[in-house]
C-alpha cells in the first residue's frame, strides 16, 4: 500500500535499518543486520535513536511497528565481539594505565549515551509495537521494555544475558522489567540466572500480550494494531501514552494531577468534536496531522 501521507517523498535511509510505511500513518522499522543475527554495534544504537526521534516528531506518523530482518533472530543483543574490542575491552598490559576516575567517567558517559538511545524508543510520542521472533536476547529485552506493546511468536526465545558476560544489565531491563511483569520473583530469576524463557512463560507473566504462530502473523498483528491506533485522534493517542508512562512511575495522586493539567488544554482540541460526530454519524473520523 502506498502511503498517502507524504512519507514516500522523504528519505528514510539509515544504515542497518529498513524503514517503510505500509499503511497510512503507520511506520515499520526493521533492524537489518540478519547475517549477524541483528546483533547491535555502536552505529546501530545511534541510528535507532535518530530514527525514533524523527518518527516521534513526524506529523505523518501515528503508530510504529519494530521488528528484525530474517527469521532466526529479532536481535541477539550486543555484538559481543565488537564490544570486546571497544567498550568491554580489557586494558592491555604494558600500556600506561588510565586514571581510574577518568576511565570511570568516560565509561559513565558511554553507558548514559547508550541508555539514551534505547530510551528514545520509550520517549517517542507515538505508540511502538515490538514484534519478537527467533532469538531475542539481552538488548532485545531492553528494547522491548522501552516499547508500549510486545508481541511474539511461538518459537521466540528470550534471555536477559548480561550476567553471562560478567555485567549487570545497564541499558534499561533492570529498571523497566519489574514494572512490566506480574511477578518480581520472575524478573529477578531471569535476570540473575540468564536462563532462556519462551513465549508461553513471557505471556504467563505479562511480558507479551499476544503470541502468534509465525513471524509473518506476528508482524501482521502488529500492523493491524498500529492501524487501529492510527485511526484514532493523534492528540488522544499521544496524550494517552504520555499519561500512562508518567503515572507508571508516580503515585495515583500525582498521575491525576498531571492528567488534569494535560487535559485542560488537550480536551479543547477539535479532535473531540470530530470523534463524537464520527461516532454519531457512523462514519470514520478524520483528524488533522499533529
**What Å distances lie between residue 132 and 84, 93, 204, 228, CA to CA?**
26, 42, 16, 20
pLDDT band at 83 (very low <50, low <70, confident <90, very high): low
- Say if residue 197's pLDDT is above 80: yes
Beta-sheet strand order (sheet of 73-75): 73-75, 135-137, 157-159, 197-198
Q: What's the CA gap between 194 and 158, in Å, rounded?
A: 9
- Say if residue 7's pLDDT is above 70: no
Which domains, and CATH codes, for the chain? 7-230 (3.90.226.10), 234-280 (1.10.12.10)
The whole-model pTM stands at 0.91
8 A C-beta contact, residue 211 and residue 133 = no
pLDDT band at 91 (very low <50, low <70, confident <90, very high): low
8 A C-beta contact, residue 198 and residue 156 = yes
pLDDT in tens, 144-178: 999 999 999 999 999 999 999 899 999 999 999 99
| pLDDT, position 88 | 55
pLDDT in tens, 94-140: 456 779 999 999 999 999 999 999 999 999 999 999 999 999 999 99
Nearest to 171 by CA among 182, 162, 184: 162
Q: Hey, is 63 helix, strand or coil? A: strand
| pLDDT, position 6 | 56
Q: List the beta bridge partners of residue 198.
A: 157
| pLDDT, position 1 | 41
| pLDDT, position 82 | 73
**What Å distances lie between residue 133 and 73, 119, 153, 222, CA to CA?**
6, 22, 6, 12
8 A C-beta contact, residue 190 and residue 183 = no
CB atoms near residue 147 (< 10 Å): 21
Amino acid at each position: 500500500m502506498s502511503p498517502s501521507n507524504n512519507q514516500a517523498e522523504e528519505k528514510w535511509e539509515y544504515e542497518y535499518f529498513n524503514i517503510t510505511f505500509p499503511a497510512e500513518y503507520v511506520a515499520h522499522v526493521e533492524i537489518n543486520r540478519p547475517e549477524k543475527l541483528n546483533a547491535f554495534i555502536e552505529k546501530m544504537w545511534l541510528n535507532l535513536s535518530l530514527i525514533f526521534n524523527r518518527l516521534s516528531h513526524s506529523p505523518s506518523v501515528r503508530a510504529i511497528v519494530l521488528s528484525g530482518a530474517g527469521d532466526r533472530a529479532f536481535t541477539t543483543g550486543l555484538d559481543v565481539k565488537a564490544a570486546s574490542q571497544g567498550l568491554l575491552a580489557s586494558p592491555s598490559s604494558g600500556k600506561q594505565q588510565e586514571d581510574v576516575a577518568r576511565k570511570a567517567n568516560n565509561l559513565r558517559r558511554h553507558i548514559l549515551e547508550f541508555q539514551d538511545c534505547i530510551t528514545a524508543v520509550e520517549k517517542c510520542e507515538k505508540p511502538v509495537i515490538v514484534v519478537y521472533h527467533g532469538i531475542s536476547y539481552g538488548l532485545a529485552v531492553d528494547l522491548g521494555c522501552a516499547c508500549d506493546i510486545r508481541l511474539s511468536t511461538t518459537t521466540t526465545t528470550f534471555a536477559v544475558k548480561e550476567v553471562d558476560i560478567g555485567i549487570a544489565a545497564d541499558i534499561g531491563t533492570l529498571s523497566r522489567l519489574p514494572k512490566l511483569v506480574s511477578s518480581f520473583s520472575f524478573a529477578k530469576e531471569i535476570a540473575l540466572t540468564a536462563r532462556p524463557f519462551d513465549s508461553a512463560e513471557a505471556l504467563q507473566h505479562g511480558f507479551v500480550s499476544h503470541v502468534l504462530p509465525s513471524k509473518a502473523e506476528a508482524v501482521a498483528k502488529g500492523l493491524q494494531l498500529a492501524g487501529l491506533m492510527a485511526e484514532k485522534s493523534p492528540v488522544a493517542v499521544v496524550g494517552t501514552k504520555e499519561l500512562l508512562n508518567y503515572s507508571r512511575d508516580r503515585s495515583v495522586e500525582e498521575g491525576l494531577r498531571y492528567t488534569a493539567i494535560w487535559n485542560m488544554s488537550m480536551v479543547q482540541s477539535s479532535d473531540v468534536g470530530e470523534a463524537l460526530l464520527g461516532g454519531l454519524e457512523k462514519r470514520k473520523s478524520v483528524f488533522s496531522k499533529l
